[in-house]
Chain A
Amino acid sequence: MTTVPGAVTKAPAAGGTRRRRPRSYETLTGYLFVGPAVVLFCVMGLYTVGYGFALSFATWNGFTPNWKWVGFDNYADLLWRSPVYAPRVRHATLNTLWVMIAAPALTVAVSFPLAVLLNRVRRFRSVLRSVYFLPYVTSGVAVFFAWQYILQPDGAVNLLLGGLGLGSLQQPQGWLGNPSTALPAMIVVTVWGQVPVAMLLYLTGLQGIDRSVLEAAELDGAGWWRTNASVVWPLVRPITAVVVLLNLRESLQGFQTFLVMTNGGPGDHTNVLGLEAYRLAFLKNLAPTLGLASALGWILFAAAVVLALINLRALRSRT
């Protein structure tokens, strides 16, 4: 992909009449142009990554002058050894896994049919697309509070269920107050926020499908259902792969929704790994948990790299 401009500059002899400045000039300007980005990256990226990595092998509370080096103790404590942290991490891992399974599956289950339907209509398409996009644009504290509000015991969701004659499904403790509905409710909120981008990707994928393929399927007697299930769905499989992996990454790392809406509660039933790391890092005051927090961050990083490798393979199999 970098070959087009490269071909021009790499063959100066072929250019012949073109006047060229010396190579060193271009090198110098190149470094000047990337300079600010690289400097910022060295300070905010490389340094912090290295610092965090070192800290994951030490014990520190953030205030004492020295770190105490402990080797792999932090990792061992988090993964199996500590009676305090290991069970918490295990529980949070379980919750995170639930989100990582349910959120991508539901996002695909909602956004693919939605895109297929949206692709059928001409009128209102752009209006609907804007409406569907609101959850993504506004994703943040404000909307999470709005969800919290409508999931309350006397909130709009219970009200709606009562109005539809589904009063037995109402949650008198509120959807986030009942330990058995809190995590599913959080998954629904997550999916609600993920559908817009997924729907948009499917929509562009659908518009890229050759019309003649669909017409051929129709001629062969395939109805609308058959065409979508047996022809369109396999054709957009690469997009499904991208959607699922974007979602997996978000489920693994994202915890802002959980921090704002439940803070892990009730009773840690919605505690996820990102939130646990955030707590260890910032909400333990003088306890020496900063090394543990870094270690947990690096465990998450390792998981993200594994996902990224799968991502690469899936993308490569597309072409």
Chain B
Amino acid sequence: MTSTSPEARTSRARTGPPGERAARTRRLVARTVVGALLALYGLVSVYPFLWMVSAAFKDRIEVVRGGHLIPDDPTLDTLVDTWNKLHFFDFFLNSLLVTGYTVVLTLVIYAAAGYAFAVLRFPGRGALQKLFVSLLFVPGITVMLPIVLLENKMGILGTHFGLVLPFVNGGAPLSILLMTGAFMAVPGELRDSARVDGASELRIFTGVYLPLARPALITVALLTAIPTWNEFLLTRVSLNDPSTYTLPLGLQTLSAENVPHYNNLMAGALIVVIPVILLFLSLQRYFVNGLVGAVKG
């Protein structure tokens, strides 16, 4: 097939300068149209964010007046005001705690499980693995009520611990899929030679396999952290005490006021969104690979 392209090139060259120029113009037009379309959808993608940022820098009067994307008189007061008035720092810490514990537990539990599924032989392995993956098909709403009732009985409803446990379990199918895949890609000879050297299974796991699966670990951490940071449904029905609220819940109390002040609401939204955007931008390579791997798996 490689022989066809030089042939095409020579035939194009034979058409002479006028044809060449027309082709170049056509290519330029095509490139401009493509660029314009891509930029247009880029605008659609960021459109709500533009207005979120805009409103966060407007005062209460200007935001009601609406009108312009660029605030006439940009002010930091709205952000400061929102941050202070709503104990956003406490909410921020709560979100950080819940997300942090969920990510750490997910990594520890499912890296171990993935290692067992990928490397170790034991009876019931295949059935267990299928069981975990089939969990993907249980809708969240189907188990949400039983989880709340169970936690109420256990006395952990309304605590951060009570959120972390179901979050970790909810991430099981995806995390196990990704970790198992990563560990299976490690050549078995490495394990064999480590065993010849007398290394224990735990040593092989932590010393050989975990370092090699670093990209997968980061992917799992990201794919766990982002939805956990944004989680709202279970959090809303679990937490009652405002001192335990996470950011999305704190944000919701802002909108539940009689007249929602959109400048405060958008300032709060900005505070919620910025950490995730930063996390994504700094680690997006892993994110993209992980998502593709997850769907293919």
A interface with B by C-beta (< 8 Å): 1-2, 4-6, 8-10, 15, 18-19, 21, 23, 26-27, 29-31, 33-34, 36-38, 40-41, 43-45, 47-49, 51-52, 55, 62, 110, 114, 117-118, 120-121, 124, 128-135, 137-143, 145-147, 149-150, 152, 154-156, 159, 192, 197, 200-201, 204, 212, 215-216, 218-219, 224, 242, 246, 252-253, 255-256, 259-260, 274, 277-278, 281-282, 290, 293-294, 297-298, 300-301, 304-305, 308
Q: How far is the CB of A175 from chain B (nearest CB, A)?
A: 13
Closest chain A residue to B176, Cβ basis:
A37
Please judge, given known A-B contacts A133-B284, A142-B273, whether A278 and B48 are in contact too, CB under 8 Å. no
Interface residues of B in 76-118 (CB under 8 A from A): 108-110, 112-113, 115-118
Contact check, B139 vs A304: say whether CB atoms are below 8 A apart.
Answer: yes
Contact check, A27 vs B122: say whether CB atoms are below 8 A apart.
Answer: yes
Contact check, A200 vs B67: say whether CB atoms are below 8 A apart.
Answer: no
| Complex-state Cα separation, A304 to B280, whole angstroms | 30
Contact check, A140 vs B248: say whether CB atoms are below 8 A apart.
Answer: yes
Contact check, B112 vs A34: say whether CB atoms are below 8 A apart.
Answer: yes
Interface assignment of B218: CB less than 8 Å from any CB of chain A: no
B146 contact set on A, CB distance < 8 A: 47-49, 51-52, 55, 294
A294 contact set on B, CB distance < 8 A: 142, 145-146
Closest chain B residue to A188, Cβ basis:
B44
Closest chain A residue to B202, Cβ basis:
A29
Q: How far is the CB of A154 from chain B (nearest CB, A)?
A: 4
Return the 10 tightest CB-CB contacts between A and B, nearest first.
A140-B230, A30-B122, A297-B142, A33-B116, A48-B146, A142-B269, A212-B1, A44-B169, A37-B113, A146-B48
Give chain B's interface secondary structure class: helix
In the complex, besides A41-B172, A134-B277, 13 extra interface pairs with C-beta distance below 8 angstroms are A26-B120, A31-B116, A40-B165, A52-B143, A52-B145, A132-B45, A141-B252, A192-B44, A255-B141, A256-B233, A260-B252, A278-B144, A301-B142
B273 contact set on A, CB distance < 8 A: 138, 142-143
Contact check, A2 vs B165: say whether CB atoms are below 8 A apart.
Answer: no
| Complex-state Cα separation, A4 to B142, whole angstroms | 37
Interface assignment of B57: CB less than 8 Å from any CB of chain A: no
Closest chain B residue to A131, Cβ basis:
B42
Count class of interface residues, chain B: 35 or more
Contact check, A130 vs B196: say whether CB atoms are below 8 A apart.
Answer: no
B137 contact set on A, CB distance < 8 A: 301, 304-305, 308
Contact check, B139 vs A253: say whether CB atoms are below 8 A apart.
Answer: yes
| Complex-state Cα separation, A132 to B262, whole angstroms | 25
Contact check, A147 vs B48: say whether CB atoms are below 8 A apart.
Answer: yes
Contact check, A142 vs B51: say whether CB atoms are below 8 A apart.
Answer: no
Q: How far is the CB of B102 from chain A (nearest CB, A)?
A: 12
A219 contact set on B, CB distance < 8 A: 4, 8
Q: How far is the CB of A235 from chain B (nearest CB, A)?
A: 16
A304 contact set on B, CB distance < 8 A: 137-139
Q: How far is the CB of B207 from chain A (nearest CB, A)?
A: 15
26 pairs from A and B in contact (CB 8 Å cutoff): A1-B184, A2-B118, A4-B184, A5-B188, A33-B116, A36-B109, A40-B168, A48-B143, A48-B150, A121-B34, A124-B38, A131-B46, A135-B45, A143-B48, A146-B51, A150-B48, A155-B66, A219-B4, A219-B8, A224-B30, A260-B252, A278-B233, A281-B144, A293-B145, A298-B142, A301-B138
Contact check, B292 vs A201: say whether CB atoms are below 8 A apart.
Answer: yes
Contact check, A300 vs B5: say whether CB atoms are below 8 A apart.
Answer: no
Please judge, given known A-B contacts A149-B51, A246-B295, whether A300 and B169 are in contact too, CB under 8 Å. no
Question: B1-39 interface mask toward A, CB cutoff 8 Å, 1 = contact, 0 = none?
Answer: 110110010000000000000000000001000110110
| A130 contact from B142, B165, B269, B284, Cβ within 8 A | B284
A159 contact set on B, CB distance < 8 A: 66-67
Contact check, B41 vs A62: say whether CB atoms are below 8 A apart.
Answer: no
B139 contact set on A, CB distance < 8 A: 252-253, 274, 297, 300-301, 304
| Complex-state Cα separation, A211 to B249, whole angstroms | 50
Please judge, given known A-B contacts A1-B184, A259-B233, A305-B137, whether A132 and B266 are in contact too, CB under 8 Å. no
Please judge, given known A-B contacts A37-B112, A297-B141, whether A45 and B169 are in contact too, CB under 8 Å. yes
Contact check, B116 vs A282: say whether CB atoms are below 8 A apart.
Answer: no
Query: Which of A259, A281, A308 has the most chain B CB atoms closer than 10 A to its own CB?
Result: A281
B44 contact set on A, CB distance < 8 A: 192
B30 contact set on A, CB distance < 8 A: 224
Contact check, B150 vs A51: say whether CB atoms are below 8 A apart.
Answer: yes
